[in-house]
């Protein structure tokens, strides 16, 4: 089984919603599927870019597949997702491509089914199984990557989902909530959403 690759980046590819790299190690080229975020960050086109990936190796009767990650904890979470009923490698990779590592952990620990459901192939039942199976298995120290911080509740999560549906990026949503949310307020979704939209409109002006 292949668990780690260290070599140079030779090429990249995209097929549908899947992203991959060709890594040359000791004269042998390995095609590795990677999260979209990693694919977009790498300096594609720069010759002989050194690269190390932590790999999960899937062997089937008709194929041998490699899934690569920058960090070992990212690969470990991928493997935990594969242990959930109904979650195969492509669904787990879709989650890793839709949400950054810390955001994915935060969504699971918060039970945020809507956020998990943003990943292709993840329906409500699958999201529920992921939360039930993994919520208590994730180290609490890793759950600090939530968008709105430790005070986030159902109102903030609903506002996040609404803003995401309107096309705002994670960074814009995080900053809007940071400027608009007051832990002492008891406003509902509409009031907080109104303040966030007002702040985003001012920032975009």
- Domains in the chain: ranges and CATH: 4-69 (2.40.50.140), 72-145 (1.10.150.20), 154-204 (1.10.8)
CA gyration radius, the chain = 19
Backbone φ and ψ for 147, nearest 5 degrees, come out as -60, -45
What tokens does 120 get?
């292709």
Crossing angle (nearest 10°) for helices 72-82 and 101-110: 40
List, in sequence order, the alpha helices (H) in the chain.
36-41, 72-82, 89-98, 101-110, 113-116, 124-134, 154-165, 170-180, 189-204
Backbone φ and ψ for 32, nearest 5 degrees, come out as -130, 125
Position 190 scores a pLDDT of 82
Please tell me whether the overall predicted TM-score, pTM, comes out greater than 0.95 for this model: no
Collapsing DSSP states into helix, strand and coil, what is residue 165?
helix
Position 204 scores a pLDDT of 64
Q: Could you report the per-residue pLDDT of 98-149, keeping only the tens digit for each? A: 998 888 998 888 888 889 999 999 999 999 999 999 988 886 433 334 444 4
Q: Could you report the per-residue pLDDT of 151-193, keeping only the tens digit for each? A: 456 778 788 888 887 778 877 887 887 777 665 555 677 888 8
Position 90 scores a pLDDT of 94
Q: Could you report the per-residue pLDDT of 54-83, keeping only the tens digit for each? A: 999 999 888 899 999 999 999 999 999 999
């Amino acid at each position: 089984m292949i668990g780690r690759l260290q070599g140079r980046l030779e090429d990249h590819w995209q097929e549908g919603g899947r992203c991959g790299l060709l890594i040359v190690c000791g004269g042998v080229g390995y095609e590795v599927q990677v999260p979209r975020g990693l694919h977009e960050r790498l300096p594609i086109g720069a010759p002989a870019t050194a690269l190390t990936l932590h790999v999960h190796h899937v062997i089937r009767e008709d194929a041998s597949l490699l899934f690569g990650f920058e960090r070992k904890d990212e690969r470990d979470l991928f493997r935990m997702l594969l242990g959930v009923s109904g979650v195969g490698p492509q669904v787990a990779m879709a989650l890793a491509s839709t949400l950054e590592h810390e955001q994915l952990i935060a969504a699971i620990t918060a039970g945020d089914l809507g956020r998990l459901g943003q990943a292709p192939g993840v329906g409500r039942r699958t999201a529920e199984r992921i939360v039930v199976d993994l919520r208590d298995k994730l180290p609490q120290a890793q759950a600090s990557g939530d968008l709105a911080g430790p005070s986030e509740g159902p109102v903030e999560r609903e506002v996040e989902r609404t803003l995401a549906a309107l096309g705002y990026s994670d960074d814009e949503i995080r900053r809007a909530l940071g400027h608009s949310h007051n832990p002492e307020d008891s406003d509902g979704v509409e009031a907080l959403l109104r303040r966030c939209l007002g702040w985003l409109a001012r920032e975009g002006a």
